Structure 1
């Protein structure tokens, strides 16, 4: 059994053995945590080291500054509300994870997904603004889609894009509903339900705006023998 290092009393109990156990390190979800709590977590990570890349997700500008005060070498991706420590992604192994967005407004969540897959060790690329309102834009990238080993599709509004993509490719599609849309989109519930009801097979759905979860799942799907795990 993998031993655990002591936690931080009253704050957190870091899962420092997760990388050895699962092949992927623990991530720190920043939303809802105080500056003091994040400082304590970042300090323990610095002191214990750890294997793999630790991601700090859903970080505000103030929270990102607090993490970088302790881990100044961490990479900050403000467009994705994400920090990574160490800053350099590991050498890519396995296959290609391709992330698509239906619109430009989906980019923050899609970037979280793309970067999560990259820092978890996959080749990771992003194609933006290829939604169903102009289907020719997607069809113009069909060869890119067919080179991927897993595809993440981030969409709000009606959430139709994952079904379309899944009907064009032979690899799994991770559907990522976003909270983008007018009132009847209900903060992402409408695209979530559309994706859950996809008629195309091979579509798996993560929670609303869960870019990290989508990137992690796609990274696991695209893991290849070169990973050595």
Structure 2
């Protein structure tokens, strides 16, 4: 799968956050978006996911231009910085919500959930509520939930911000396994060491412009 971004521009009021953004993402790579706070990194990620509108340009999935403010949840997924797990639902209920909403057969959804949860070592927590999980466990639940529709590219917003070094290491391993299974990733992070460890490419937003470096 390929995401093509052409001449994208985003403003808040009279302030232009970024403009003339031309990029291509594919489902065989991990791309990191870096830069100082206020550069519009998370906003860019939300535009790709249809959670934010933009002023000009296009976002296309495999050549199909998506209307502004829309996306295809079966092609691109999102793991939010705050995870956004529903507190009154168990882990199992949180994970099954999206596939059942999108009309996936319950038995198929449950089998997919069990497989993914076991792969990410979270299955034993399936009957717990989010408040009873550690930050790392909540993140793995959020990753499983985002993978339930089997997107080809998965976005992460600041995935290491609340994790200790051991959990960050496990996250990097998880991302590596997802890539091996054919899932591309777009990651917003302030953690330079983490970016260098996981990325094929690193993009920098600076004063409304973009520069790119290839990771050796």
Establish whether TM, by shorter chain, passes 0.5. Answer: no
Scaled by the length of structure 1, the TM-score of the pair is 0.32
Q: Which has the higher strand share?
A: 2
Flag the structure with more relative contact order, 1 or 2, with Cα contacts below 8 A and sequence separation at least 6: 2
More helix by share: 1
